[in-house]
């Protein structure tokens, strides 16, 4: 029987850690303290406000605007659910996974997608390294996990960074061992997610881990036409684009610090953004998009000039102009 995982209850994640025979997070596991110091630490922040000490001893705060949560959710409810999945399936990563990894089987596809996801967020814009991974994956002949690992480790990066090969060299054998134990590669993403985060001594809501799991979903859909339900565990992969759109929509409000000084990599800012978008997901209800799908939407919107967003809403979502303008006004009330 598949375990039930709820983001508002840490106990199932603790039980999962016990079942996997792995220890909980400890604050000493990495360079910075991990959220709540347990596998459940990536579960959404329990407060709608985070704070940070400034150099002069004062405290800055980032607050979630609960009115904006409802406003944004009401706007997103007007976007058909299938449009979110279409956005993902139109991405270069999804198409590449479908073309060069899925023919080798689901295990190979999931493994190769995760390998890419673990380094992509350290290299710049999404998709900037996919071509390099795709070239190596296209050279594979034997559909084995060892061959996928060899190909991933052979990738040469546009922005060389000495930690990349070391990180992959450490993590990929562990991911491969997990996948090789799954009968018919029946991947349970929450289990894999927690295992990967523990092996990497990272909080699972860190953008790299979250993005790797998002790529695993792409792989499962590409090889099985199966869109895994990750509503209970998905999080937005917080980066500068998510921060920028969250500020523009008024979802979060900085207090005591200028917007331009906020950094998506700051732990408290990240936790607040994860919580804020989780509240939006909850407000959307069980039939609405999950946080991964909203993450893709935010990336797409951020890449579109503001003056072109209403036409994009009309084209991609099949909206009448009046409806598209209404959605835009609800998302960006200060710019409508």
pLDDT 10s digits, 229-244: 888 888 999 999 999 9
Mean pLDDT of 128-152: 88
pTM of the model: 0.80
- The contacts of residue 99 (CB under 8 Å, 6+ apart) are 134
- The contacts of residue 237 (CB under 8 Å, 6+ apart) are 121, 207, 210, 211, 214, 295
Class of domain 88-224: mainly alpha
Domain borders along the chain are 88-224
Decide: 209 and 39 in contact? Cβ < 8 Å: no
Over the stretch 48-61, which tens digit does the pLDDT of each residue have? Answer: 455 544 444 444 57
Alpha-carbon dihedral sign for residues 224, 225, 229, 230: positive
Whether 282 shows a pLDDT value over 70: the answer reads yes
Q: For residue 187, which of 175, 170, 197 has the smallest C-alpha distance?
A: 175
Decide: 168 and 198 in contact? Cβ < 8 Å: no
Q: For residue 59, which of 49, 69, 67, 68 has the smallest C-alpha distance?
A: 49
Decide: 195 and 216 in contact? Cβ < 8 Å: no
Dist CA 320 CA 314 (whole Å): 6
Whether 10 shows a pLDDT value over 50: the answer reads no
């Amino acid at each position: 029987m598949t375990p039930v995982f709820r983001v508002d209850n840490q106990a199932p994640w603790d039980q999962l850690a016990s079942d996997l025979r792995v220890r909980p997070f400890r604050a000493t596991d990495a360079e910075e303290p991990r959220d709540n110091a347990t596998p459940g630490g990536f579960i959404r922040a329990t407060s709608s406000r985070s704070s940070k000490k400034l150099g002069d001893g004062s405290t800055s705060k980032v607050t979630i605007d609960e009115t904006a949560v409802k406003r944004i959710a009401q706007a997103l409810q007007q976007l058909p659910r299938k449009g979110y999945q279409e956005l993902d399936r139109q991405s270069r990563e999804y198409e590449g996974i479908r073309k060069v990894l899925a023919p080798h089987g689901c295990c190979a596809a999931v493994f190769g997608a995760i390998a890419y996801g673990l380094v992509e967020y350290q290299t710049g814009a999404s998709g900037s390294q996919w071509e390099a991974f795709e070239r190596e994956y296209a050279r594979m002949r034997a559909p084995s996990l060892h061959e996928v690992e060899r190909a991933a480790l052979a990738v040469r990066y546009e922005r060389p960074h000495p930690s990349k090969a070391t990180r992959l060299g450490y993590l990929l054998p562990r991911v491969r061992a997990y996948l090789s134990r799954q009968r018919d590669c029946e991947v349970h993403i929450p289990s894999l997610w927690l295992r990967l985060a523990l092996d990497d001594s990272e909080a699972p809501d860190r953008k790299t881990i979250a993005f790797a799991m998002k790529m695993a979903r792409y792989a499962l859909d590409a090889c099985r036409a199966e869109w895994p339900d990750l509503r209970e565990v998905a999080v937005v992969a917080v980066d500068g684009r998510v921060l920028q759109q969250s500020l523009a929509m008024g979802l979060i409000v900085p207090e005591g610090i200028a917007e331009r000084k906020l950094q998506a990599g700051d732990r408290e800012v990240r936790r607040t953004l994860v919580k804020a978008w989780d509240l939006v997901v909850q407000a959307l209800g069980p039939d609405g998009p999950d946080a991964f799908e909203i993450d893709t939407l935010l990336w797409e919107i951020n890449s579109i000039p503001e003056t072109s967003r209403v036409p994009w809403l009309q084209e991609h979502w099949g909206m009448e102009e009046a409806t598209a303008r209404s959605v835009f006004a609800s998302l960006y009330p200060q710019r409508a």
